[in-house]
Amino acid sequence: MTRKILLLCGVLASIAYVATDLLSAIFFGRYHNFTSQAISELMAIRAPSERLADVINVLVFGPLMIAFGVGVWMSPGRPRLMRATAGLIVASALLGLTIPTLFEMNVRGSGGDPRADLLHILVTLALWLVMSTFMGTAAFVRGPLFRWYSFASIAVMLLFGALTGIVGWPMLRGQPTPWMGLLERISIGAHLLWVVVFAVALARAATAHDRSRGLRPAGA
């Protein structure tokens, strides 16, 4: 039962991340823009949405992803792949916690220290690399269908992530980026959906594994 609750944390983490975007749009509509604004701008230094985004990411999303990683570690499967995937998930969560705390970007056009923006970009790229890697290792945990789904999700995430970077360069000069926000949200959405699918797949596999060993689910 504990393992299933920990796996459920992966689903809740994805919901929490989406909630950051939606709540920022509700409470800070004049600042927030789904199509042209990067999600990182919600956590930017002195952004009106900074406190809300930081609280959700640091106190909710990050801890939930760490718990999810522990759930993956506890799940049945090929031990080396499961542990590698779990370790990378926890590593990505810990690295992600540094973005809204240590490596925040500047509000667009604020004239802040450009080194902050550069460090933010570098850490974000490192985070995406870790996320892509654990999606790749996890692709071999389940069957062929999940493997191809994982590869497709990685491709979507990297493709739209690259497009985000290409159209997002004007942001560093404080200029408009009409489609950057939409492209980034497609990329991140592919990853968040994958986390949900992976969590559900592991939970089902754990139930089948317990039944094969003659263990009754809690409450049965």
Average pLDDT rounded to a whole number, residues 127-153: 95
220 occurs within a structural domain? no
Average pLDDT rounded to a whole number, residues 39-59: 96
User: Per-residue pLDDT for 162 more than 80?
Assistant: yes
Confidence of residue 78 (pLDDT cuts 50, 70, 90): confident
Could you report the per-residue pLDDT of 171-202, keeping only the tens digit for each?
878 788 999 999 999 999 999 999 999 999 99
218 occurs within a structural domain? no
- List the Cα angle 150/126/75 in 5-degree steps: 45
219 secondary structure, DSSP code: T
219 occurs within a structural domain? no
* Average pLDDT for the chain: 91
Q: Which of 140, 126, 112, 92 has the alpha carbon at shortest distance from 50?
A: 112
Average pLDDT rounded to a whole number, residues 41-52: 96
In angstroms, the CA 195 to CA 66 distance is 13
In angstroms, the CA 122 to CA 102 distance is 13
159 occurs within a structural domain? yes
Residue type present at position 140: F
Query: Do 24 and 32 meet the contact criterion of CB atoms below 8 Å apart?
Result: yes
Query: Do 179 and 36 meet the contact criterion of CB atoms below 8 Å apart?
Result: yes
In angstroms, the CA 41 to CA 213 distance is 49
Residue type present at position 202: L
137 occurs within a structural domain? yes
The total number of residues shown for the chain amounts to 220
Could you report the per-residue pLDDT of 105-128, keeping only the tens digit for each?
999 888 888 889 899 999 999 999
User: What is the biggest distance separating any 2 CA atoms in the chain, rounded to whole angstroms?
Assistant: 64
Could you report the per-residue pLDDT of 30-46, keeping only the tens digit for each?
999 999 999 999 999 99
Integer-rounded Cα radius of gyration of the chain: 18
Total domains in the chain come to: 1
- List the Cα angle 47/53/58 in 5-degree steps: 130
pLDDT at 216: 53
pLDDT at 48: 96
Could you report the per-residue pLDDT of 87-96, keeping only the tens digit for each?
999 999 999 9
What are the structure tokens assigned to 122, written together?
A: 């570098």
Its domain, for residue 66, covers 2-211
